Amino acid sequence: MRQKTGYLPSLDGWRALAVIGVVLTHDQGGKFPFHVLERFRDIGFVGVDLFFAISGVLVTWRILEDEKTRGSFRIKSFYVRRFFRIQPAAWTYLGVLAILMLCGALQEKWSRWFGALFLFRNFQAHWANRVAELGLGWFSAHFWTLSLEEHFYILLSIFILTVRRNRAAVLFILLFGLIVGQQIAIRHGLFSDDVSGGRTYWQIQYLFFGAFLSILLQLEWFRQHAVRWLRPWLVFVAGFLFLEVHSYVANAHLPGPFNLIGEHSSNIAYLFAFCVVATMLHPGSWTTRFLELSPLRFIGRISYSLYLWQQIVFHSSSPETVVRWRPLVWAGGRPQNYLVLFALALLSYFCIEKPFVRLGHKLAPPSTPGHRDLDVSSLPRSAPAIPSLMA
């Protein structure tokens, strides 16, 4: 009998694309040789939106799988696995950062460091004052996304525990309220991308939209329609056309594919959730097969460590940062910055991230195991696996 697994290789491919987008955005130390690639680099920040889409879809799906298999949602086990998945690697990065701060190797405000440690960093960002934010908070700035994701885990688990029936309808109402509330705040000057754009009550909708799709897929009628119509190529074409029409109506011009993504990053976040689901539902599509290429899957597996350590390596992207330690200054130059980043990420993944994820799975075994490298069950290692989504 084939072992049921929660691991979907295509998601590692998506993670790879997401972290590549983030890294390209932060690599401001030189120019790409081609104009098209230069423009692509400038819109790489949408990688964060892709990370949110992946988390919203996947985390919710795993919770629902656990609930279906065991009859209830075991919140303690969920938090144990999430803790060992996220915090050990994050604390290692923050520990190294604290040592460098104490030694005077770089400059970072301690309030920003504590914001990252206690997961309220997304409430501290104030991009209107770029010098203060990046000069004193660059090395922990990327923790705004990690803080938001931790808030999502808490809010999602509360939602799953308290709403037992009609979850899709209830979540739709909540999402509608969040979207309308944001539009009202924008009209009345209560919302600002520079001051409050990263705060949980503005950003959580993008993660919950992925959760909404996962909940809908539990409904047989929706799943049948999704398998039939939600094909990767159709999602890409329809999404692109929607953004083009939206841009034309709003601005009376067609900006082209590169500017289009930058102008409508919020819409892109919703589109990414559909893209992730489409490839999950169609593992045989050429898009899914591309995402399952070995290099992309490997980058995807170490994407969390890459995301953590790219901030300290690509410090030269922000001229406001203060770095005094010569080895770190050297590490920020091209092309050695990519070599240093991969070395740090590999150390982080194999020495910290992977062992602690395995420990979390051992202490709180999931109903469906993840990647075979993390399997701590007694099942034979040679047993072939099938994605639980398609079981």
Q: 18-22, 246-250, 257-261, 278-282: which has the minimum mean pLDDT?
A: 257-261
Residue-wise pLDDT tens digits, 81-95: 999 999 999 999 999
- Answer whether residue 147 shows pLDDT above 90: yes
Stretch 59-82: mean pLDDT, rounded?
Answer: 93
Identity of residue 112: R
Per-domain boundaries in the chain: 3-364
DSSP letters of 99-133? HHHHTTSB---HHHHHHHHTT-GGGT--TTSHHHH
Distance of alpha carbon 238 from alpha carbon 267, whole angstroms: 13
pTM for the whole thing?
Answer: 0.87
Distance of alpha carbon 37 from alpha carbon 31, whole angstroms: 9
Nearest CA to 307 among 331, 330, 273, 341? 341
Q: Give the CA distances from residue 101 to residues 44, 89, 107, 237, in Å, rounded to whole numbers and listed in that order.
A: 29, 18, 6, 48
Question: Which pLDDT belongs to residue 335?
Answer: 86
Question: Which pLDDT belongs to residue 268?
Answer: 82
Distance of alpha carbon 191 from alpha carbon 193, whole angstroms: 7
Stretch 264-280: mean pLDDT, rounded?
Answer: 85
> Which H or E run includes 5?
strand 3-5
